[in-house]
Structure 1
Amino acid sequence: MSAPRAVLSWSSGKDCAHALHVCRRDGLARIEALFTTISGPSGRVAMHGTRLAILRAQARSVGLPLIEVTLPWPCPNTEYERIMAEETAKLVADGITHMVFGDLFLEDIRAYREEKMRRIGLTPLFPIFGTPQTTEFLAAEMMESGLRARIATCNAEKLGPDFAGRAWDADLLLDLPEGVDPCGENGEFHTVVTDSPEFAAPLTITPGNVETRDGFHYADLQLAAE
């Protein structure tokens, strides 16, 4: 059987980038586009704070079109679900049958996605889903594959501002406080991927200034050409 037609939920971070690699490597799905939500007022990826210039450069490097869905701020959950239902209905109308997610082990998030996808007629795929105990090995697998990333934002209750902007590498993992997941799956940090086996060429990104707001440290990552 041929691989199903799919779009990939793309946050700009390492996990979705690795999910793309696994889908292509193992023939799990034919990814036809990246699907990203943008915070309207900031013009950046929500939570990660990724600039559009980086987001679009990532899409070019993996050779896929980028579907940008702009969300208002504030965005109540009812409004978020309405917008997402409208946008995903377009995918179904175009013959897309699956949406791929880079979730790692949070069962409640997986169940939420499964419920929402079922309502709109899409099948969710979780190609790198495992357990909290497997993320250490998954981090090593990502790095060994050639994936490179930087921390874009981190939870101020878990990590200090010096972590924002740092490369997500073996040295950083050694510096993480006890109890912080090496992949940040509990929300301790979010990353921006700069290279992966699927990139035609790596992105050169500089950390920029670090700003603390709303309980998070944000590194204003920028393309070197900007």
Structure 2
Amino acid sequence: MKKFIMSYSCGKDSTLALYRMIKKGNTPAALLVTVNKEENRSWFHGIPENLIKEVSKSLNIPLILVETKGNDYESKFTEALIKAKDRLGIDSCVFGDIDLEPHREWCTARCNEAGVEANFPLWQENREELVYEFIDSGFKTVIKNVKLECMGEDFLGKVLTREVVKDIKETGSDACGENGEYHTFVYDGPIFKYPIKFQHLNIIKNETHGFLDVKDSENE
């Protein structure tokens, strides 16, 4: 059995990887979430810090926030793994990557530097089947970001269901969004002690992406 740290994005793939590890009897020592130091939001998915902390509480897994401006992303990530190994006794880091080889190489390199094993529970499985496993397991996730050349902004804020996956496929996008077509925020499911309450704010767009801005519903 592994004592692991979870490289966690708050999205569906890392959540499914975490769920599988727990079901097999492995022990999650912490969630590792990288945060944009200038925005106080998670990198890539843009989840506010207070919501990340609430997710940690609901999952009942300690949180390690790794603040980085981006230019020191690699070193900060490796440093966090080394600290987790020394202080928590972890032997591995788990990732939700499916089949993008450059991602796997990057993750494995950081783990090698820290002297821990890189674990990929979803690796090279069928993307669409993984999405359905996630949904059918009872997880709830909202579409947080979309690549506008692939998917319209009308997808933002939708809860991911089998019907929504069908709609995503009809745009020509990958069902799992593994090519970056969309990112999600998981707010409830079988390993959550309670659902995360949050509010939809406005939609923010730049030249390439649309983002659903969200915040903790407890804080005005």
Percent identical pairs in the alignment equals: 29
Name which of 132, 141, 144 aligns with 1:140: 132
1:27-62 deviation digits (Å, cap 9, x = unpaired): 2x3111100000011100111111112111111011
Q: Among 45, 50, 59, which residue is 1:48 paired with?
A: 45
- For 2:108, give the aligned amino acid: E
Query: 2:201 aligns to what SS in structure 1?
Result: coil
Instruction: Specify every segment of 5 or more residues in structure 2 that has no aligned partner in the other structure, as ranges.
Output: none
Cα distance between partner residues in 1 of 2:171 and 2:156: 18
Do 1:166 and 1:207's aligned partners in 2 also have CA atoms closer than 8 Å? no
| SS of 1:31 mapped into structure 2 | strand
- The alignment status of 1:17 with 2:9, answered yes or no, reads no
Deviations 1:137-190 (A, max 9, x none): 111111111011001111111111111121111221121134311121111111
Structure 1 distance, partners of 2:85, 2:51, is 28
Describe the shift of the 1:80–1:214 C-alpha distance in structure 2 as closer, same or farther (beyond 3 A).
farther
Partner Cα separation in structure 2 for residue 136 and residue 166 of structure 1: 18
SS in 2 for 1:110: helix
**How far apart in 1 are the matches of 2:175 and 2:217?**
27
Query: Does the CA-based 8 Å contact 2:150-2:172 persist in structure 1?
Result: no
Q: Which residue, 100, 105, 112 being the options, matches 1:111?
A: 105
1:98 aligns with 2:92: yes
For 1:194 and 1:83, how far apart are their aligned partners in 2?
A: 27
Instruction: Give TM-score, length-normalised by structure 1.
Output: 0.90
Q: Shift in Å at residue 214 of structure 1?
A: 4.8
Is the 1:165–1:208 contact (alpha carbons within 8 Å) kept by the matching residues of 2? Answer: no
Q: After alignment, is 18-27 or 36-45 more displaced?
A: 18-27
Q: Which residue of 2 aligns with 1:83?
A: 76
Q: Figure out how many residues of one structure are paired with residues of the other and give that number.
A: 217
Moved over 4 A (4+): none
Query: What do you get for the CA RMSD once the two structures are aligned?
Result: 1.4
Distance 1:136 1:81 in 2: 30
**Could you tell me which of 192, 202, 205 is aligned with 1:212?**
205
**What is the one-letter code of the residue matched to 1:111?**
E
